[in-house]
Structure 1
Amino acid sequence: MPDPSRTPQLRLREFLPYRLSVLSNTISRRIAELYDREFGLTIWQWRVMAVTGDAPGISATEIGQRTAMDKVAVSRAVAGLIEVGYLERKSSEEDGRRSKLYLTPAGTSVYDEIVPMAIAEEQALEAVLTPEERVELTRLMEKLAGSASPDRPLW
């Protein structure tokens, strides 16, 4: 009979949060090598560009919410992208204290080059799965996301 006063042993190799984190980081680094080598972008900068390309006029706060990036990482990525000319900040017409972010023409050009590369990497990664496994993976990810964040959708 297990001793209830003894702390259970944590086996990281079997711990779901650890495994998901390592897998996510490994996949992100694999794709990041492409846009770092070609365009000199960090993972954080690409995430900001990807979200802004998908939702022009988004605020930095909303980017943080959508990507689970902390405020400092978002701020640094935004500043770096503005500095290289890939992102621009415009004051919100509804609320002058808020600003909206947009890809510049140069940023849009880079975005348009990276997206097909990212999609190709996603397809290569998923190629080991059958169509049924892809559907099941999506279903399971949705289920875990709902459990991890019951108050708001993660994506």
Structure 2
Amino acid sequence: MSDTPSKPSLRLSQFLPYRLSVLSNTVSRNIADLYDRAFGLSIWQWRVMAVLGENSGITATEIGQVTAMDKVAVSRAVSGLLDSGHIARRASKEDARRAILTLTAKGKEVYDQIVPIALAAERDLVETLSGEEQAQLASLMEKLARAAEPDRPLW
């Protein structure tokens, strides 16, 4: 028998960051399949459009901050959405170096069609929980968000 303490082992199936990531990716992919088939948008493109639908007239950097997406993913999504005509870019009146992004009429139309699909998918998922469980989940998510990022709200 050895006096050496055993090394802690990592079991991914019990490691909260891993479990949250897998769950998030799975939920996002399931919803993305719905709008990808109908509208040909990637998860990243829809996230950009969703942010612009709620916060029109912001920069790609701000989108990255709001979504916690990395710069490359935001840049690729923005580029694809510009090419497809879903979003438009213009120089900021205050600072010409800043590019302001907005949904175009085409983008707004697609956004308005996807929102009910996304909300229905969310409802189907959340309805598996009781009202009490839904409240607990919301509370726990807020608590974890504050612990993960104490200097700013995540949502």
- Secondary structure of 2:22's counterpart equals helix
- The code of the aligned residue for 1:124 comes to D
Residues 6-35 of structure 1: per-residue CA shift (max 9 Å, x gap): 320111111100110110000000000011
CA gap of 1:130–1:76, structure 2 versus 1, over 3 A, is same
Separation of aligned partners in 2, 1:107 and 1:21? 29
Q: Take 1:93 and 1:7, find their aligned partners in 2: how far apart are those partners?
A: 58
The 1:120–1:4 alpha-carbon spacing in structure 2 relative to 1, beyond 3 Å, is: farther
Whole-Å separation in 1 of the counterparts to 2:67 and 2:39: 21
| Cα distance between partner residues in 2 of 1:4 and 1:11 | 21
Going from structure 1 to structure 2, the CA distance change for 1:95 and 1:3 (only over 3 Å counts) comes to farther
Distance 1:124 1:139 in 2: 20
Residue 73 (structure 1) aligned with residue 68 (structure 2) = no
Equivalent residue of 1:65, what SS? helix
Any stretches of 5+ residues in structure 1 without a counterpart?
none
Cα displacement string for residues 81-131 of structure 1 (whole angstroms, at most 9, x for unaligned residues): 000000000111111110110000000000000000000000000011111
Alpha carbons of structure 1 residues 128 and 4: separation in structure 2 relative to 1, 3 Å: farther
- Say if 2:116 is the partner of 1:116: yes
Q: Distance in 2 between matches of 1:136 and 1:5?
A: 38
Q: Distance in 2 between matches of 1:113 and 1:49?
A: 12
Cα root mean square deviation, aligned: 1.3
Q: Distance in 2 between matches of 1:4 and 1:54?
A: 56
Say how many residue pairs are matched: 154
Q: CA deviation at 1:3?
A: 6.2
Structure-2 separation of matches of 1:99 and 1:20: 33
Distance in 2, Cα, partners of 1:76 & 1:50: 16
Calculate the TM-score normalised by the size of structure 1: 0.96
Partner of 2:147: 147
Give unmatched runs, 5+ long, in structure 2: none
* Cα distance in 2 between the residues matched to 1:154 and 1:16: 18
